[in-house]
Structure 1
Amino acid sequence: MTAFFIATSQIKDPQKFARYGQQAASTLSEFQGELVIKGKFSEALAGTAEHDAVGVIKFPTMDALQDWYKSDNYQALIPLREEAVNMSISTYAVPA
Structure 2
Amino acid sequence: MSAYVISELEVRDPVAVETYRTIAAKSIAQYGGRYLVRGGAAEVAEGGPPVKTIVVVEFPSMERLREWYASPEYAEPLKHRRTALERRLIFVEGVAAA
TM-score normalised by length of structure 1: 0.88
Percent identity between the two aligned chains: 25
**Which segments of structure 1 move beyond 6 Å, counting only runs of 4 or more?**
none
Q: Quote the Cα distance in structure 1 between the aligned partners of 2:34 and 2:41.
A: 21
What are the ranges of 5 or more consecutive residues in structure 2 without an aligned counterpart? none
What amino acid is the match of 2:69?
Y
User: In the TM superposition, what whole-angstrom CA distance separates every residue of 1:54-88 from its partner, at most 9, and x where no partner exists?
Assistant: 11110110000000000011022222101011110
3-state SS of paired residue (1:47) = coil
Q: Quote the Cα distance in structure 1 between the aligned partners of 2:86 and 2:22.
A: 17
Give 2:70's aligned residue. Answer: 70
Give 2:54's aligned residue. Answer: 54
Aligned residues: 96
User: In the TM superposition, what whole-angstrom CA distance separates every residue of 1:12-58 from its partner, at most 9, and x where no partner exists?
Assistant: 11111121111100112221111111014543222223553111110
Matches within 5 A, 1:6-17: 6-17=6-17
CA RMSD in angstroms comes to 1.6
Say whether residues 1:34 and 2:34 are aligned partners. yes
Structure 1 residues 59 and 42: alpha-carbon distance in aligned structure 2, compared to 1, 3 A threshold: closer
What are the ranges of 5 or more consecutive residues in structure 1 without an aligned counterpart? none
